Amino acid sequence: MEENKKPLSLLEKMKQKAREQKMYGGEQEDKSAGMKARDCPNCGAGRMQQDGLTHCAYCGFEFLSVTLTDGINIKKEDNSPQH
């Protein structure tokens, strides 16, 4: 009888431990899709498609400090014109 109890009680303990442990980095929560926009934090102007993504067309504020290359959906043409 004693013989048979050991693996089961050990299993129970293992299960409990597996449940109690926290995962490194915390639980990952599923996020749903969302939409937002970023106005220029400097002058408040909206960000217009024809002005490119990298700089504010009005005050020159730098939205992105990089030069865009041809990626997946973002392309070279999305760089703001030189100013």
Partner 1 sequence: MSNPLLDPIHGVSLYDYATISAKMASGISQEDLLKALGIENAVYEEAAALWVTRMQEDQTFEVITVFGQYFGEADNHPKLSGLKPQTSAEGSQNLEKLKTDRHFYEELSGARIAAYEYGYDGAQWILDNYGITLGDFQAVAVHWSNVNQAEMGADNYEKVQYWVNYQQQKQAEYAQKFAAEQGGNIGDDVEF
Partner 2 sequence: MNYNPAAMRSEMQDTQQRFVTFVDKLEIKLKEFAEASLPELTEMNDNDEDAYKQTYHRMKSAVLGQVDSIRKKAYDVLEEKVMLYQVPWEDAALRQQFMDMRNTCQERYTQLEDLIQYYREKIEETFSEDLEAKYQYILDEYERIKDKFLCTQCGGGLTIDKIYFTTTYIACPFCQTQNTFEPSSQAKSLEHLGRSLAEKRTAHLLKASHHNGQLEEDAFRKKHRLEMDMAFEQNSREKTRLAAELANAVQHWENTRNETIRLYKNYLRAMFDEWNNINPGLTAEHERFHERMLQDYLDSKKNN
Which residues bind to partner 2, rule: CB under 8 A?
Answer: 4, 7-8, 10-11, 14-15, 17-19, 21, 23, 27-38, 46-50, 53, 72-74, 78
For residue 59, the SS3 value is coil
The partner in contact with residue 25, picked from partner 1, partner 2, none with C-beta cut-offs of 5 to 8 angstroms by kind, is: partner 1
- 65 has which bridge partners? none
Asked if residue 82 binds partner 1 (CB under 8 A), the reply is: no
State the minimum distance, in angstroms, from the CB of residue 58 to partner 2. Answer: 14
H-run or E-run covering 2: helix 2-20
Minimal CA–CA distance to 36: which of 28, 46, 27, 26?
46
